[in-house]
Chains A and B, each alone.
Chain A
Amino acid sequence: MKTNRETSLAATKTTFSLPAFHRPNRQRGALAVLALLLGVLQFQLFVSTALAESSTVRKSGGAQPWSVQVDRVDPGDVGLELSFGAAIYENLLEELAKTGQFKQLFRNGDRNANDDPRLLILKTTVEKYTPGSETRRAVTTVNGATKLNVRIQLVTREGRVVLENVVDGNVRFIGDNLRATHNLAHNVAVTLKRSTLPEQADLVPEQESGKMPKWNQVRTVVRSPAIPIDLNQGKETGTLQRRSQREVKAELRNVYCPLAGGVPCVGRFFGTEEWQPD
């Protein structure tokens, strides 16, 4: 009986002291949960940061990122409005800055770019341009689109093309005509972001690496009488014939000749090698 009473008393005491016992425990429990949540959050942040870093390293091949200098837009011979050239250039600078792909962005002519050892030059040539009308778009919905089509080239200082692509930028429904330049610049930035830029080692000239030059690939062409080039801004074609046992008949396409004199043109040879018996 005594034991029973003691037990019941103890139980009563326990019952009465339970809230007092639980209050600090509940607080401690809440703190623990909070700490646990914070820990999980921190871990997630760490993991995502590490993943992002590793993907960046993977994309850039573990090397330092490139800097890029945006060249002035070559309007070609498509009758591009003058304001469009400036708008494409400025929008390119903004959109490329947003991607964060490049270490530094330089404007055309920026003297600071001369000190950067890993510099690529972005050249933009307008290939097609369809002037549109905002009013026609608003009235008809299906007509009056402004369309731009440009060829972009990333070239090294030495003139080697490391990336070449054709990008569109249109405005079909809502927005003024200059909106096409913004869309174009955005598409260029996305294209560059998706592409893999080469390591420095990939850019060693073929002659230095001891390999025979292959045709159907990008080569630097020095403007000379031996290689007749019709200098019509981006639409040059020509032929190259090497007089030797191996005669190379190649057609020169997609040549980019900078406006400045004395700068080598950059082009792509497509052709075949033929064995010429003595």
Chain B
Amino acid sequence: MNRNPKPSRQTPVTSLQVRNGSACLTLLLALCAGSIGQTQSEAQSPVPGSAIHVTHVLGFEGARHNATGDLKIQDGAVQFQRDGSSTAQVNISSIQDIFVEDEDKQVGGTAMTLGKTATPFGGGRVVSLFAHKKYDVLTVEYFDNSGGFHGAIFQLDKGQGQTFKKDLVANGAHISSPDDQATTQSTPEVKHENK
């Protein structure tokens, strides 16, 4: 006769899930904030002639894809030195064109992506809203000794691309159009579709 409503068995489990979810979310947000804070502190214009920390995306002869390292101008050449590894270099006189574009990317890499996927209640999407960062993409087009064309792409912290481009031009690199000095906007949020 005593039919007092029993508390649902799901409640502790749900609260545990919520607690886990919120813990996961907090961790991801902390990681994200840390990453952004770190990059903001790094994102300062380099001293001309000094090495800048970049990620080599592809195309620079003798350097591995997605390798991080220092890019600098020395002895009439652009040098890319991987962290604690050998140096790849290209003569500045062989550079035919340089472009700097903006790119917006998610931070955190694979670990962050997995974390976001594992976060319940769509928390990962919320994190994605904040876990992105703007980069400069530096494209250097040059010819090798055989006359072969290369297109090297580097990812730099925001604001460093233009400075490095100016340094290269000052050291004798060719660019196709001098009025192309301004950063080419490659806004990823473009809504029109080019057909």
Question: Which A residues form the contact surface with B (CB < 8 A)?
Answer: 72, 78-79, 81-83, 85-87, 89-91, 106-112, 128-136, 138-140, 144, 174, 176-178
Contact = CB atoms under 8 A, between A and B. Distances in A.
Q: Which 6 A-B pairs have the closest CB atoms?
A: A86-B151, A107-B148, A138-B128, A133-B188, A110-B148, A78-B194
B42 interface: no
B57 to A, nearest CB: 7
B125 interface: yes
A89 B151 contact: yes
A8 B162 CA distance: 102
B153 interface: yes
A86 B146 contact: no
B147 A109 contact: yes
The interface residues of chain A, by DSSP majority, are classed as: mixed
B143 A90 contact: no
B174 interface: no
Contact of A86 (B104, B152, B194): B152
Interface of B: 57-59, 99, 101, 103-106, 113, 116, 124-125, 128-129, 131-132, 137, 139, 141, 143-144, 146-153, 184, 186-190, 193-195
B151 A129 contact: no
Given A86-B139, A177-B188, A133 B153 contact: no
A87 B188 contact: no
Contacts of B188: 131-136, 144, 177
A81 B101 CA distance: 8
13 contacts: A78-B195, A83-B137, A91-B58, A107-B144, A107-B146, A108-B149, A109-B147, A111-B146, A112-B146, A128-B195, A139-B128, A139-B129, A176-B105
A79 B124 CA distance: 32
B195 A82 contact: no
B194 A79 contact: yes
A95 to B, nearest CB: 12
A87 B57 contact: yes
